[in-house]
């Protein structure tokens, strides 16, 4: 199978059976897991005892060979096996007098290079982008442009030439856009960088949700540590949602809308997001009616809906007139985008105190107080039913075990048996904090309107501050910090780290797209304009053609990658067509 290799153990010891156990390099403080018993060799027939096992190739393994009684460690080998490789582990006696045992690992058949499909796909997409760029340059040449449009539509050649050649102008883009204007009346141009940022995060999220070619690094981290692609996607989406809240509410209130009317819309939109999330996360199209007995309550859209409700209501209720325009007198001009909103900051800091108290002080039956581990075989198997500590306990207590996610990412490496939901109740507090930091980015854009250097310098400062906080919380360590980076828990260090990267990414995209205009944001701009439709659509139609089809070889990364990239590309094309037809789905 994918991510596996074959290991044949040859035991040439004449009178001793062997026990083979393994420990994954990605499993922190874990117990060795028994793999196979290898019988002793048949001395009279000179036939070694053999056993064959499948070993994991995603992470380095430590193999431990001991006597059959488990009382003597014979050898320990650390090795990173290659996918579809064929290996032999030969155990024999070097000296009968000293009873010295040697363990030699032999490669019978070399592994394949499973990363070649990624390189090929990269070259294909780069080729397509190169062709599009060259075509765009040719279309700027008047004779070429006139000839192309004459061939495409001879009767409307004049109208097309005199138009903006299919690119929506500023007035059309703003008036037809379903969201409120995000800029001042003097400059009614929508910030393309925000939609590009949102679309980039969304499209990678779609690719990962479809399987990511079944590569392990496109899957969520088992527990603490390394920030794979999937670990950053949802957080970026939350971040840019906060930025959009700041800009859109500012625009709405400038146009004189009643706060109570806007608050009603906020409640309604949050309700719809939560409802859609429950429907989408519980697909049961072919199994009959859904049963409440196993209905999953938390989910991505549910958390987005509740986070939107809290952050948007907070921004609406505590917004001060004249704050964003800079007309209020400030004792500290360097903090003019923070001080007017001190009630919001106090509320957010109070939420963080609640998270810290519940996480580290709430008694959890059978678990040490403040436990942040994965349970299962982690922590040497001492707390197998403590997955997620207080976060998991609160979800199981308030929602019930049958109404949360049953197969957490920790179940693969740490062999956890308890259900745990990465979109649970306690982690929502830090999701609100993440959206609030995105809200802060929006305030920076409003305060320093059209002052590009000021905006980018503030983004950089916020990124540095968040990075320093992350370094302190984690001690720059994967496992040994005060609060490790953990996407499953949505730990505070995870939020500060992700916001550090989010500010930097937004700075880069803002500079390229809105300041220097070196990049239009395509193709990510288009799904960013229809994010809810693309997200819900990719979930609903995930198992339908042409987004999925029967493969000839289900154990081929190349086939999975082709299918997942095709499905993701189709959603980009769909979003582009909807954009050209001015179709935007808003909630």
Mark whether 220 is an active-site residue.
yes
Dihedral pair phi/psi, residue 262, rounded to 5°: -65, -40
Residue 396 burial (CB count, 10 A): 21
Calpha distance 250→147 (Å, rounded) = 46
Question: Where is 235: in which H helix or E strand?
Answer: helix 229-254
The DSSP bridge partners found for residue 9 are: 51, 89
Helices H / strands E in the chain, number of each: 17, 8
The DSSP bridge partners found for residue 78 are: 62
> Of 513, 438, 59, which is closest to residue 239 (Cα–Cα)?
438
Sign of CA pseudo-dihedral 284, 287, 291, 295: negative
Angle of helix 390-398 relative to helix 425-447, nearest 10 degrees, comes to: 110
Long-range contacts of 166-172 (CB under 8 A, 24+ apart): 166/580, 168/582, 172/582
Calpha distance 9→88 (Å, rounded) = 6
Residue with tokens 């192309």: 148
> Of 51, 54, 80, which is closest to residue 68 (Cα–Cα)?
51
Look up residue 182 and give its DSSP letter. -
Q: Can you point out the beta strands (E) in 12-150?
A: 18-24, 33-38, 49-56, 61-67, 73-79, 86-95, 100-109
> Of 368, 365, 341, 352, which is closest to residue 428 (Cα–Cα)?
352
Q: Are strands 18-24 and 61-67 parallel, antiparallel or unpaired?
A: antiparallel
Calpha distance 297→285 (Å, rounded) = 18
Contacting residues for 351 by C-beta, under 8 A, at least 6 apart: 429, 432, 433
b vs e for 47-73, b when ≥16 Cβ sit within 10 Å of the residue's Cβ?
ebbebebebbbbbebebbbbeeeeeee
Q: Are 319 and 311 in contact (CB under 8 A)?
A: no
> Of 452, 585, 472, 476, which is closest to residue 531 (Cα–Cα)?
585
Dihedral pair phi/psi, residue 6, rounded to 5°: -95, 130
Structure tokens at 50: 């053999």
Catalytic residue, chosen from 28, 220, 228, 538, is: 220
> Of 237, 195, 185, which is closest to residue 513 (Cα–Cα)?
195
Question: Where is 9: in which H helix or E strand?
Answer: strand 4-11
* Active site members: 220
């Amino acid at each position: 199978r994918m991510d596996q290799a074959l290991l044949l153990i040859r035991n040439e010891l004449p009178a001793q059976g062997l026990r083979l156990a393994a420990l994954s390099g990605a499993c922190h403080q874990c117990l060795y897991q028994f793999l196979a018993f290898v019988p002793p060799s048949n001395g009279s027939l000179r036939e070694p005892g053999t056993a064959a096992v499948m070993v994991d190739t995603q992470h380095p393994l430590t193999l431990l060979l001991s006597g059959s009684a488990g009382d003597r460690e014979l050898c320990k080998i650390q090795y990173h096996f290659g996918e579809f490789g064929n290996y032999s582990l030969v155990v024999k006696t070097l000296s009968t007098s000293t009873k010295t045992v040697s363990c030699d690992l032999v490669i019978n058949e070399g592994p394949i290079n499973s990363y070649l499909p990624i390189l090929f796909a990269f070259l294909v997409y780069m080729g397509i982008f190169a062709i599009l760029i060259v075509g765009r340059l040719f279309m700027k040449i008047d004779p070429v442009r006139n000839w192309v449009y004459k061939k495409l539509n001879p009767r409307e050649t004049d109208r097309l030439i005199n138009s903006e050649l299919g690119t929506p102008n500023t007035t059309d883009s703003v008036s037809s856009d379903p969201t409120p204007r995000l800029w001042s009346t003097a400059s009614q141009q929508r910030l393309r960088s925000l939609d590009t940022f949102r679309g980039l995060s969304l499209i990678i999220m779609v690719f990962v949700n479809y399987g990511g070619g079944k590569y392990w690094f496109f899957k969520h981290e088992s527990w603490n540590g390394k920030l794979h692609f999937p670990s950053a996607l949802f957080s970026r989406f939350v971040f840019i949602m906060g930025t959009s809240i700041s800009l859109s509410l500012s625009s709405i209130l400038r146009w004189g809308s009643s706060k109570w009317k806007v608050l009603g819309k906020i409640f309604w939109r949050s309700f719809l997001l939560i409802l859609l999330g429950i429907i989408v996360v519980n697909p049961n199209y072919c199994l009959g009616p859904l049963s409440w007995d196993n209905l999953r309550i938390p989910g991505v859209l549910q958390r987005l809906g509740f986070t939107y409700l809290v952050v948007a209501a907070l921004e609406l209720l505590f917004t001060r007139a004249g704050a964003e325009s800079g007309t209020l007198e400030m004792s500290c001009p360097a903090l003019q985008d923070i001080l007017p909103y001190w009630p919001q900051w106090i509320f957010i800091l109070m939420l963080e105190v609640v998270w810290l108290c519940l996480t580290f002080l709430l008694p959890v039956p059978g678990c040490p107080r403040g436990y942040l581990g994965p349970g299962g075989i982690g922590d040497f198997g001492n707390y197998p039913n403590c997955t997620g500590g207080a976060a998991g306990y609160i979800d199981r207590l308030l929602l019930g075990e049958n109404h949360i996610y049953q197969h957490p990412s920790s179940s693969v490496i740490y062999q956890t048996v308890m259900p745990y939901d990465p979109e649970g109740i306690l982690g929502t507090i830090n999701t609100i904090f993440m959206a609030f930091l995105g809200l802060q980015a929006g305030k920076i854009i409003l305060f320093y309107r059209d002052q590009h250097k000021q905006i980018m310098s503030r983004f950089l400062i916020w990124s540095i501050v968040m990075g320093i906080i992350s370094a302190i919380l984690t001690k720059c360590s994967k496992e040994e910090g005060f609060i490790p980076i953990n996407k499953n828990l949505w730990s505070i260090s995870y939020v500060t780290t992700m916001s550090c990267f989010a500010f930097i990414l937004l700075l880069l995209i803002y500079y390229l797209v809105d300041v220097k205009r070196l990049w239009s944001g395509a193709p990510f701009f288009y799904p960013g304009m229809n994010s809810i439709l693309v997200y819900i659509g990719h979930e609903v139609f995930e198992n339908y053609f042409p987004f999925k089809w029967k493969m000839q070889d289900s154990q081929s990364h190349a086939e999975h990658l082709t299918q997942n990239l095709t499905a993701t590309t189709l959603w980009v094309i769909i979003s582009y067509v909807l954009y050209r037809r001015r179709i935007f789905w808003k909630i």
